[in-house]
Structure 1
């Protein structure tokens, strides 16, 4: 598990937050495969066969609806489950199956190993129709292609925009209409939540990520949970702690957390499941002097909130609105 967490931290905080946030939203969209659209209008995608152009510019002809999918990156299983099509095999299955919204959903999936270096033998054993990969698998692309057609999507594109992610995967498996239903429901729920939380306009919120109770990051712009919480049109329109803007704010020493002045803190990450870590935190004078702690406004969300996919957004939405609704 430490290895899995280390890889996930690197992916989410460095690839998703730091790299993704250095580009303007328009630039992120321009890098997306041409075969996808972020408009809410239904697309006139033919049934089968259909041609999909992936992030490498490769055109893959999909002769019929894929029945067995090998998911090599952590966001694919979440998206596939949201579309009602769990993968036949997934990397990091043990970790993913622990997430709140994937418990019991990956029982039939085979474990394919580490997401950076999945097992070719295990992938071959499930006989996939399509292998869903990312740019992280470039070095093993030729080996993967010998097993089954490989579709490569860019991690930043999907992490930065959950709607783009579900629409794109839906095109691959022929669930375009289902993707629009998921998006419509989610956006309706977000709108409802934004209206319900209007009385919160005068209170500020900070989203703090910690895995070990020692290193803390105040999540910033570009993080999917940040967008959900603070975007005025596509999110809940909450007020962020004014001292923390930009991308990601990591404290080099625990004492740095004393600068957080928010009225509410959402503490996110593996720490929330570790009783010993939480007890240590609650014994800290620095922690107990925080504005939100004094007010009794510390809310917990586990790792399920930060994968950036549709089910993670739904999980975070439910937790935030339940905690703040008055």
Structure 2
């Protein structure tokens, strides 16, 4: 009998210890600019309230998971969709909805107009829980702040580092685990792709952007597509055309393109105008004399690649791999 009583007491004590462990709060990772993954850490998405310090140094108390987010800059909807939480409203909705990875994903979102000067009346009408802004919204900040708390993040920080943008927005909406899953998946794909493209060692690549078929820009180190193509650790490790280094280089005349001697060219633009663009280029002696053109190594990529977010990065990576895999 004493043995049975002793066993019961031990079981009750064990149950109490386990219950106490289950009530221990999960650790909040927060955002980071480092590329390391912390997906093994289990973040409790119900860890509310939480305090977020934005780029203006303002501490915003987020009492519960935001349900209605108003997005005022073009990379926010992409990040939110990647996290499974499309915004309730967004600026530039019509343009964003045309991007390959956002088609059908913003159908329920309200249009807020221009990204620099959004419609205050429309923002007011949806009564968002929070407004995601950048430093470009200083002129309308006070008006927006009267509607809902405004969280300001620096444009350059997010545009130049998709992992940082993903983690930071995830912290705001309580989707840290989801962010790490997206990053893990992407980095595995990038690492695999880098190995596949080792067969291209010694061949050079140029990324050229044209919005109108008249002005052409060779993308430089400040562009996210450049990083995914050429970075040796976070990108595909390709070799850039050494004619151009630094930031984007705009050519005022088409003839400026004749100096690009890359073995491969990715021409980035509106692929809905592909036929018109290519017909015009094929008539140019400058274009036809270029190294990549003579080798038949010109590939078109939609401007879906240039927003700088996680989905754009994945889109660019997949296009590059499809074109260059041998």
Do they fold alike, i.e. is TM over 0.5? Answer: yes
Quickly say closer, same or farther: Cα 1:166–1:103, change in 2 above 3 A: same
**2:218 is equivalent to residue 229 of structure 1:** no
**2:287 is equivalent to residue 287 of structure 1:** yes
State the alpha-carbon separation in 2 of the partners of residues 50 and 77 from structure 1: 22
C-alpha contact (below 8 Å) 1:210/1:271 kept by paired residues? no
C-alpha contact (below 8 Å) 2:299/2:323 kept by paired residues? yes
Tell me, what secondary structure is at the counterpart of 1:52? strand
Listed one character per residue, the Cα deviations across residues 267-291 of structure 1 (whole Å, up to 9, x for unaligned) are 0022663422321111111101111
Rg larger in structure:
2
1:125 — aligned with what? 125
1:240 — aligned with what? 240
Mapping of residues 65-144 of structure 1, within 5 Å: 65-144=65-144
1:212 — aligned with what? 212
C-alpha contact (below 8 Å) 1:36/1:167 kept by paired residues? yes
Tell me, what secondary structure is at the counterpart of 2:319? helix
Tell me, what secondary structure is at the counterpart of 1:101? coil
State the alpha-carbon separation in 2 of the partners of residues 202 and 246 from structure 1: 21
State the alpha-carbon separation in 2 of the partners of residues 37 and 146 from structure 1: 30
2:252 — aligned with what? 252
State the alpha-carbon separation in 1 of the partners of residues 201 and 62 from structure 2: 49
Tell me, what secondary structure is at the counterpart of 2:193? helix
Tell me, what secondary structure is at the counterpart of 1:250? strand
1:197 — aligned with what? 197
Range moving further from structure 2, 275-284 or 140-149: 275-284
How far is the alpha carbon of 1:222 from its aligned partner? 1.9
| Cα RMSD, aligned residues only | 1.5
How far is the alpha carbon of 1:256 from its aligned partner? 1.0
Listed one character per residue, the Cα deviations across residues 250-302 of structure 1 (whole Å, up to 9, x for unaligned) are 21211110111101000002266342232111111110111111111100111
How far is the alpha carbon of 1:41 from its aligned partner? 2.7
1:13 — aligned with what? none
C-alpha contact (below 8 Å) 1:272/1:278 kept by paired residues? no
Work out which of the residue numbers 32, 37, 42 in structure 2 matches 1:37. Answer: 32
State the alpha-carbon separation in 2 of the partners of residues 289 and 313 from structure 1: 31
Q: Which runs of 5+ in 2 are unaligned?
A: 1-29
Tell me, what secondary structure is at the counterpart of 1:197? helix
C-alpha contact (below 8 Å) 1:211/1:271 kept by paired residues? no
How far is the alpha carbon of 1:140 from its aligned partner? 1.0
State the alpha-carbon separation in 1 of the partners of residues 160 and 171 from structure 2: 19
How far is the alpha carbon of 1:248 from its aligned partner? 1.4
State the alpha-carbon separation in 1 of the partners of residues 257 and 233 from structure 2: 29
How far is the alpha carbon of 1:139 from its aligned partner? 1.3
Tell me, what secondary structure is at the counterpart of 1:102? coil
2:182 — aligned with what? 182
C-alpha contact (below 8 Å) 1:213/1:271 kept by paired residues? no
Q: Which runs of 5+ in 1 are unaligned?
A: 1-34
Tell me, what secondary structure is at the counterpart of 2:101? helix
Aligned length: 293
1:19 — aligned with what? none
State the alpha-carbon separation in 2 of the partners of residues 52 and 168 from structure 1: 10
C-alpha contact (below 8 Å) 2:33/2:161 kept by paired residues? no
C-alpha contact (below 8 Å) 1:272/1:300 kept by paired residues? no
State the alpha-carbon separation in 2 of the partners of residues 274 and 190 from structure 1: 28
